[in-house]
Amino acid sequence: MQPGGGAADETIETPPVRANWRECRQCGLVSTLPRMRPELVADCPRCANTLWRMRRHPFELPIACGLSALLFYIYALVAPFLEISAYGRFQLARIETGPVELGLQGFTLVGLLVLAVTVIFPGLKLGIVLVTLFGIKSRVVPARVLKAIFRWHGPIGPWAMVDVYLLGFLVAYTRLAAIASVHLDTALYALIGLMIMMAATDAALDTEAVWRALDAADDPCDETPVTMTSAVIGCPTCGLVNRGADGDGCRRCGTRLRPRKTESVARAWAFVVAAMLLYIPANIYPVLLITQLGASHGYTIMGGIFELADYGLWPLAMLVFLASITIPLMKLLILGYVLITTQTRSAETLLARTRAFRLIDFIGRWSMIDVFMISILVALVRFGQVSNIHAETGAPCFAAVVVLTMFAVSSFDPRLMWDALQPDDMNVNTQEAAGI
Ligand SMILES: [Zn+2]
Ligand SMILES: [Zn+2]
């Protein structure tokens, strides 16, 4: 307890938070980082979530990887990546052809989604990393501006889906090869290079080092007066532990601090219920209408999987089944379970539930494979009544399921599960940080 706690002493300074305290984003435990050295990983002592992975070259390596990714990105934007010829006619696709064609077919939102996650968000993510790191190195841009830019790196990350797009391409390619002569073009290799270099940039980037460097170059944001009632709150953007009240700004990056995400359970339920309702039409209605020599055939998601299996492409059929049927269903079931157990304040199987939540957070974006496959097929197979592929009602429903489940995962605050623990169960570190 604090010494001399009286009504008149409400403004007595509480012990300052230490720079090496971290609040785990998954279980809420505030722990002290160990003495860090390059390539050491600091995990949360309670749920094993990674708190900081320190890098030996936190600036030079991500700049090098990011620059090469940028070159691949620019090339992939301007060159075609696939050409097909059938019935004496010829079509080629650039990365934006699919979204444009989806728009022309009346599925503008699906087209915009594909354009956003394959072109806009990967570009933004690369731009944010490169501008911030160059800014730190050159000291030309004020640190305050760089902080305002870099805080978007985390939220945009999962929406840059070049890797998922390439798997969608693989599925589309095998289906196209069955009806036409397909030629891979140079931009495809640029996309593969972009995927590898973006993964390398992510692996080399040390966000904690970036925030510390930005902090060293700037005065911390205005500090709110600290009172006895001020709680310990970890910043969701930069990870710094602050002492403050609900709604205060983070000392390091200015993000509004909340002890827990606002209306987390209600918002997550709203997204889960909407996704469950759309999961039914997404599987009942066809996602594609394939016309060949005047005869049309609609394919549902399951129908597409059977077609791949009929060609003998079992690994690909399994992959699409996993991404399009299993993962969305698993996400909905796991989310429903963690939401119910959070509302009943169950303190059982906390670690298992946290791991399950981490898993669906990690794999959720891979469900976009089918949406990407559709966008590539409609971009290329446009030979009038002879051979034509058109998106159908199931496609926007399925895209909405993927997006809504991703929103549900990001709305839910897993620390709420751990709030069911009694104070006696709290780790010593939490009690120290809470000033107990
Ligand atoms: Zn934890
Ligand atoms: Zn912050």
User: What's the CA-to-centroid distance between 257 and ligand 2, angstroms?
Assistant: 8
CA of 234, nearest ligand number: 2
User: What's the CA-to-centroid distance between 297 and ligand 2, angstroms?
Assistant: 53
CA of 357, nearest ligand number: 1
pLDDT of residue 424: 52
Tell me the pLDDT of the chain averaged across its residues: 87
pLDDT at 399 over 50: yes
pLDDT of residue 312: 85
pLDDT of residue 434: 47
User: What's the CA-to-centroid distance between 347 and ligand 2, angstroms?
Assistant: 30
Q: How far, in Å, CA of 26 to CA of 355, rounded?
A: 9
User: What's the CA-to-centroid distance between 235 and ligand 2, angstroms?
Assistant: 4
User: What's the CA-to-centroid distance between 163 and ligand 1, angstroms?
Assistant: 28
- Cα separations in angstroms, 41 against 31, 56, 279, 380, 414: 14, 12, 39, 46, 22
Considering only CA atoms, which of 313, 323, 298 is closest in space to residue 391?
A: 298
Q: How far, in Å, CA of 111 to CA of 316, rounded?
A: 24
Cα 7 to its chain centre, rounded Å, is 47
pLDDT of residue 141: 87
Q: How far, in Å, CA of 410 to CA of 361, rounded?
A: 8
User: What's the CA-to-centroid distance between 133 and ligand 1, angstroms?
Assistant: 29
- Cα separations in angstroms, 83 against 91, 267, 300, 368: 6, 44, 26, 23
In tens, the pLDDT along 4-53 reads 333 444 444 556 667 788 899 999 898 888 888 888 899 999 999 999 99
Considering only CA atoms, which of 405, 264, 281 is closest in space to residue 332?
A: 405
Query: What is the rounded end-to-end Cα distance, in angstroms, of the chain?
Result: 5
Tokens of 380: 């290329």
Q: Kindly report the CA angle at 302 between 299 and 304, in degrees rounded to 5? A: 50
pLDDT of residue 39: 83
In tens, the pLDDT along 108-117 reads 999 999 999 9
User: What's the CA-to-centroid distance between 22 and ligand 1, angstroms?
Assistant: 10
User: What's the CA-to-centroid distance between 252 and ligand 2, angstroms?
Assistant: 5
pLDDT of residue 226: 53
User: What's the CA-to-centroid distance between 147 and ligand 2, angstroms?
Assistant: 9
Assign 247 a pLDDT band (cuts: 50, 70, 90).
confident
User: What's the CA-to-centroid distance between 50 and ligand 1, angstroms?
Assistant: 8
Q: How far, in Å, CA of 280 to CA of 328, rounded?
A: 12
Q: How far, in Å, CA of 188 to CA of 120, rounded?
A: 18
Q: How far, in Å, CA of 208 to CA of 58, rounded?
A: 9
Residues with CB under 5 A from ligand 2 (ion): 235, 237-238, 240, 250, 252-253, 255
Sorted by sequence, the CB contacts under 8 Å of residue 43 that are 6+ apart come out as 49, 50, 51
pLDDT of residue 14: 56
User: What's the CA-to-centroid distance between 393 and ligand 2, angstroms?
Assistant: 42
pLDDT of residue 435: 45
Q: How far, in Å, CA of 394 to CA of 385, rounded?
A: 22
pLDDT of residue 370: 92
Percentage of the residues of the chain whose pLDDT score is greater than 90: 56
Q: How far, in Å, CA of 54 to CA of 36, rounded?
A: 7
Q: How far, in Å, CA of 48 to CA of 18, rounded?
A: 21
pLDDT of residue 104: 94
Q: In this structure, which amino acid lies at residue 208? A: E
pLDDT at 428 over 80: no
CA of 207, nearest ligand number: 2
Tokens of 428: 């010593």
Q: Helices marked H in 151-263 — which ranges? A: 153-156, 162-177, 186-204, 207-216
In tens, the pLDDT along 72-108 reads 999 999 999 889 888 788 888 899 999 999 999 999 9
CA of 211, nearest ligand number: 2
User: What's the CA-to-centroid distance between 107 and ligand 2, angstroms?
Assistant: 39
Cα 228 to its chain centre, rounded Å, is 37
User: What's the CA-to-centroid distance between 236 and ligand 2, angstroms?
Assistant: 7
pLDDT at 411 over 70: yes
Q: How far, in Å, CA of 418 to CA of 403, rounded?
A: 27
User: What's the CA-to-centroid distance between 221 and ligand 2, angstroms?
Assistant: 10
In tens, the pLDDT along 152-191 reads 999 999 999 999 999 999 999 988 888 788 989 889 999 9
Tokens of 175: 């289906």
Q: Kindly report the CA angle at 189 between 400 and 362, in degrees rounded to 5? A: 40
Report DSSP state, residue 285: S
Q: How far, in Å, CA of 421 to CA of 417, rounded?
A: 8
In tens, the pLDDT along 332-354 reads 999 999 999 999 998 888 999 99
Assign 221 a pLDDT band (cuts: 50, 70, 90).
low
User: What's the CA-to-centroid distance between 201 and ligand 1, angstroms?
Assistant: 25
Q: How far, in Å, CA of 211 to CA of 220, rounded?
A: 11
DSSP string covering 311-368: TT-HHHHHHHHIIIIIHHHHHHHHHHHHHHHHHTT--SSHHHHHHHHHHHHHHGGGGG
Assign 431 a pLDDT band (cuts: 50, 70, 90).
very low
CA of 241, nearest ligand number: 2
pLDDT at 225 over 70: no
pLDDT at 384 over 90: no
Q: How far, in Å, CA of 288 to CA of 266, rounded?
A: 34
CB atoms within 10 A of CB 35: 8
Q: How far, in Å, CA of 389 to CA of 379, rounded?
A: 9
pLDDT of residue 2: 37
Residues with CB under 5 A from ligand 1 (ion): 24, 26-27, 29, 44, 46-47, 49
User: What's the CA-to-centroid distance between 31 and ligand 1, angstroms?
Assistant: 9
Percentage of the residues of the chain whose pLDDT score is greater than 70: 90
Q: Kindly report the CA angle at 158 between 153 and 164, in degrees rounded to 5? A: 135
pLDDT of residue 229: 57
Q: For the residues 258-283, what does the mean pLDDT come to?
A: 94
Assign 227 a pLDDT band (cuts: 50, 70, 90).
low
Q: pTM here? A: 0.88
User: What's the CA-to-centroid distance between 345 and ligand 2, angstroms?
Assistant: 29
pLDDT at 151 over 90: yes
User: What's the CA-to-centroid distance between 251 and ligand 1, angstroms?
Assistant: 22
Q: Are 270 and 405 in contact (CB under 8 A)?
A: no
Assign 423 a pLDDT band (cuts: 50, 70, 90).
low
Q: How far, in Å, CA of 414 to CA of 342, rounded?
A: 9
pLDDT of residue 3: 38
